[in-house]
Structure 1
Amino acid sequence: MKKYILILAVLISFECYAQQKPQYTQYIFNQYLLNPALSGIENYIDFKAGYRQQWSGINEAPQTSFVSAHWALGDNQLWSNALTDFPEQSGNPMDRNYMQNYMSSPAHHGMGITAVLDKTGPLSRLDANLTYAYHIQLSNSFNLSAGVAAGLSRISLDVNALTFDQPNDPAVSSAFVNQLKPDLSVGLWLYGARVFAGLSVQQILPQKLSFTNDNTYNLGKEVPHFFATAGYKFFLDEDIAAIPSIMVKYVQPSPISIDLNMKVAFKDRIWLGGSYRKDDSFSAMAGFNIGKMVNLTYSYDFTTSDLNQVSNGSHEIVLGLLLNNIYKVPSYIRMW
């Protein structure tokens, strides 16, 4: 009798396919999703909302929706330095004058919130976290921040989407449909006018995952996700800048994943980008800023793994808002 086969398959997917957190292409423009140390890195409210369709063309493939927002704490948020103090007439906080006169921001606190809904077949996962970071001033040129994210994960199984040999199979009535688990992440972020580097760990609390009372099938577990990233900005001419970056990800027992990224921006108002994820995909990205408040980005992943025979690639779109943007910054200063 096969009464547990599909539930077992779900459990095995947690154990063997180790990446349990969603995958993003545009994390280079919202590193906050992967590293809580970016909380309050700017003195405006950075809000983003996005949607990702993974492996389009495959039924029940992963779909991810998210919202995030973070901001600096305290009445001293409008600090008077190069973080926001640039020539108003230039309209471009990332021009050469800004770089030459850059000063690191004073020590400050930041906080934020994230909510991520990820759905794959009969499984769905909702992560809701509150984040906090403290930014110290290492020198006139560099800051270092440390952050933590804490919250809850709700993991749900839609038993109505499962098919059993017996319509009234006991597996349905005994299945754990919803589970709540604590969630904790930590991170570090080093940043200056042109360079950034970060380390973070998500899902660091060990948790068992089970959808049945039968100990034979209690094999599922959550595993930590490790991220290391770095990048540098240089100018091709007065109006065009290029930002190469790299991210290394490790989730046991999967092989180490390496992303190579490049963004080319024109006055930080219009930009094009590309990314290569080893043994997985090539990605093309584009975006633009609308006035001083809104930006919109889109990416498409060309699958290079064996899934390219059945997948039409992956789509991702992100809307960003710069709220309480008193200095009228036209683009993200620190979001490379």
Structure 2
Amino acid sequence: MRKGLLIFVLMMGMLRLGAQELNSPQLSQYLADNPFVLAPTYAGIGDHVKIRLNGLSQWVGIKDAPQTQSLAADARIGNKSGLGVFLYNDKNGYTRQQGARLSFAHHLTLDRYEDEFLSMGISYNFNQFRIDIEEFRNLNGDPSVTDDRSTSNHNFDVGVMYRKNKFYVSVNASNLLDKDLRSFNPVFEPNQLRNYYVYTGFRYSKNKNSRVEIEPSVLYKLFESDGRSETDLNMKVRLYDFEDYYYGGINYRFLNDQVGKPLYIAPFVGFKKSNFYFGYSFQIILNEILAYSYGTHVITVGMDLFQGLSNCRCTY
């Protein structure tokens, strides 16, 4: 039984690596008022310095399940540009991934009276993937396993976003460059790491004085290496108390060839009080791994600092 469970976990880990290779695992972190984790175009949108820390604990109940920590921060530079940085550390069984993303975005005002804006962004990515050889030595007692088994990748993301009033749509392409396969088996190892994202939504309120705001949104992701695609359907409700607010919602993710069989359903809640931010989400897994795991936790904490850096309406 234990052997069968170990094989199952290893297989799930390999599937996860194939899906997330040289990327930070993306679940519902972006719904914690942190869309910068998706695309560089969001760098500098806001009249403050935004800092978000994310903790991701996957497959709760399974020993040595994946764990991810990340830091996202972005700030306005002048009236029309923004800079951002994203750092992550990901542990999955006997493998480790660390990465960094440096982003620049430029924001243009198309119509100041209609609040119509166009943003363009680019990111430089650095990722390192390595095998924890100490764990292999301890597990197998094999002294021949030596050296630091690792590989690094340099890559780029680009994106564009259009906003009008409370409607938004962004298109992003990540990992534009093919992977160098000289250190791998080119027959079995894919070299196309490109992923394509489309994220769109609308923030609705009854009137300007309404304390309630409803935000439906959709995230579509396409993986070029194998043609897989998946979709998130989201619904978010905010309750405002002057500049503070509380929110709750639901995230529904599915593969596009299996619409009626969701990968998970994730309720999420959070609040912003003064400059402090907190968000929590729990992914309820709805596939075969449900027999072994309780689900996945995502926690976000953050601060919004130095408000008032820009007077441009495109910060809102």
- Scaled by the length of structure 2, what TM-score is found? 0.81
Pairing 1:231–2:231 present: no
**Structure 1 residues 172-251: aligned runs within 5 Å:** 172-173=145-146, 176-208=148-180, 215=185, 219=189, 221=191, 223-236=193-206, 238-251=210-223
SS at match of 1:183: strand
- Cα deviation, residue 224, structure 1: 1.2
- Whether the 8 Å CA contact 2:100–2:125 is kept in 1: the answer is yes
Aligned Cα root-mean-square deviation (Å): 2.8
Give the number of aligned pairs: 284
- Cα deviation, residue 16, structure 1: 8.0
- Whether the 8 Å CA contact 2:60–2:294 is kept in 1: the answer is yes
**Counterpart amino acid of residue 133 in structure 2:** V
Task: Could you tell me which runs of 5 or more consecutive residues in structure 2 were left unpaired when the two chains were aligned.
Answer: 1-6, 255-261, 310-314
- Whether the 8 Å CA contact 2:29–2:54 is kept in 1: the answer is no
- Cα deviation, residue 34, structure 1: 1.2
Task: Measure, in 1, the Cα distance between the counterparts of 2:298 and 2:266.
Answer: 10
- Whether the 8 Å CA contact 1:208–1:220 is kept in 2: the answer is no
Task: Measure, in 2, the Cα distance between the counterparts of 1:15 and 1:312.
Answer: 17
Query: What's 2:119 paired with?
Result: 145
- Cα deviation, residue 183, structure 1: 2.5
- Whether the 8 Å CA contact 2:57–2:68 is kept in 1: the answer is yes
Query: What's 1:19 paired with?
Result: 20
Task: Could you tell me which runs of 5 or more consecutive residues in structure 1 were left unpaired when the two chains were aligned.
Answer: 1-5, 78-107, 328-332
**Structure 1 residues 290-329: aligned runs within 5 Å:** 290-291=273-274, 293-326=275-308
The 3 A distance-change label for structure 1 pair 263 and 166 is closer
The 3 A distance-change label for structure 1 pair 244 and 215 is closer
Task: Measure, in 1, the Cα distance between the counterparts of 2:185 and 2:138.
Answer: 20
Residue 34 of structure 2: which of 30, 33, 37 is its match? 30
- Cα deviation, residue 219, structure 1: 2.8
- Whether the 8 Å CA contact 1:15–1:221 is kept in 2: the answer is no
- Whether the 8 Å CA contact 1:19–1:225 is kept in 2: the answer is no
Task: Measure, in 2, the Cα distance between the counterparts of 1:34 and 1:26.
Answer: 9
SS at match of 1:162: helix
The 3 A distance-change label for structure 1 pair 209 and 19 is farther
- Scaled by the length of structure 1, what TM-score is found? 0.77
Larger radius of gyration: 1
Post-superposition Cα deviations, 1:200-243, rounded to whole Å, max 9, x if no partner, equal: 11222211468xx6859973646112111100011257211110
- Cα deviation, residue 305, structure 1: 1.1
Point out which structure has higher relative CO (alpha carbons under 8 A, 6+ apart): 1
Task: Measure, in 2, the Cα distance between the counterparts of 1:214 and 1:226.
Answer: 25
* Structure whose residues are more often strand by fraction: 2
